[in-house]
């Protein structure tokens, strides 16, 4: 059974869900999600002999939401993971992340390989620092319409998304899923700043089988205090680029697994398909080739739980030997 409690780590209080005994596996959610996005992974991973812990990351759910925008840099987020490992009485952990959780997982392995047994990223591939700040680069490339830039404007997306939280989340999850019309077309997520994002997203009459009304209820509750803390992660993208300068051209060295859907919008971002092709050459300990899930959109572990669980159990078990 999944149990819940609050722990202190890196100066913040983090709500965690946990189940099982054995080597520690941290599951890090993305945007706009919560610990609940991993609820289909707890049982299978615990049954396979692992201690599974999924936090609400800072700015989300029942965890702390610092007011300052600059309290959400990648160094803070990695610090939370390292602090959480220690608060749970462990020296090392497997770190698994999806969406924004993936860069946190990859950077934890990059910056603190001594505490990472193995790392897995879903949707977002390993970080290879570009030559320009990402917000500035996307602002120029897409004339300010790329969704990162929209999210980074203080107070704008916050207000749009909070008008009707349940509708916002319903549209988000359907539009980025493999079930949405046009999924996998490679069209970039661009936004008309005057009309916002939600007006252009489809609103399904019936939710996909993998995303129930109960799932939507749980997610809606987790955003009852708004979206600002979560959006502050995007507001630090250029700052993160500055802070990670010492690791330019560095690679993730712990054993690594990458899983993505062939209908996910993220692997179609500019330059990402080429990066995925090169990962076996770039990653010294990439476990096999990247795992591509047919017909899967962005919400990898929710849309394809059986395939994701099988890949994770095989990877984690192999790295535990």
Active-site residue numbers?
A: 99, 298
Partners of residue 146 on adjacent β-strands: 190
Which pair of tokens denotes residue 273? 């398909």
Whether 13 contacts 7, CB under 8 Å: yes
Q: What is the three-class DSSP state of 296?
A: coil
Partners of residue 261 on adjacent β-strands: 293
Residue 25: its H or E element: strand 24-28
Nearest CA among 235, 270, 281, 243 for reference residue 79: 243
Give the separation between CA 146 and CA 127, rounded to whole angstroms: 19
Give the separation between CA 152 and CA 121, rounded to whole angstroms: 23
């Amino acid at each position: 059974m999944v149990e819940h409690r609050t722990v202190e780590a890196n100066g913040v209080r983090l709500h965690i869900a946990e189940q099982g005994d054995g080597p520690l596996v941290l599951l890090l959610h993305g945007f706009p999600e919560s610990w609940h996005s991993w609820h289909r992974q707890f049982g299978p991973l615990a049954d396979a002999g692992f201690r599974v812990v999924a936090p609400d990351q800072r700015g989300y759910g029942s965890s702390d939401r610092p007011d300052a925008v600059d309290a959400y840099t990648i160094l803070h987020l990695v610090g939370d993971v390292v602090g959480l490992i220690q608060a749970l009485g462990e020296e090392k952990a497997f770190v698994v992340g999806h969406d924004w959780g993936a860069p946190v997982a990859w950077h934890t392995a990059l910056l603190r390989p001594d505490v990472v047994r193995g790392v897995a990223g879903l949707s977002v591939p390993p970080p290879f620092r570009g030559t320009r700040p990402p917000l500035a680069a996307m602002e120029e490339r897409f004339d300010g319409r790329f969704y990162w830039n929209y999210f980074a404007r203080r107070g704008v997306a916050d207000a749009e998304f909070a008008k009707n939280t349940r509708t916002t989340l319903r549209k988000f999850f359907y539009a980025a899923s493999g079930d949405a019309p046009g999924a996998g077309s490679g069209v970039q997520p661009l936004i008309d700043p005057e009309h916002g994002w939600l007006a252009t997203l489809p609103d399904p009459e019936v939710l996909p089988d993998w995303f129930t009304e109960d799932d939507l209820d749980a997610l809606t509750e987790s955003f009852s205090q708004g979206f600002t803390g979560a959006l502050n992660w995007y507001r630090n993208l250029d700052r993160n680029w500055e802070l990670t300068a010492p690791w330019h051209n560095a690679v993730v060295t712990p054993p690594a697994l990458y899983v993505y859907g062939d209908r996910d919008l993220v692997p179609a971002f500019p330059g990402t398909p080429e990066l995925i092709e090169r990962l076996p050459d770039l990653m010294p300990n990439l476990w096999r080739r990247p795992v591509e899930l047919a017909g899967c959109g962005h919400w990898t572990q929710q849309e394809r739980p059986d395939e994701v669980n099988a890949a994770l159990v095989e990877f984690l078990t192999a790295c535990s030997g």
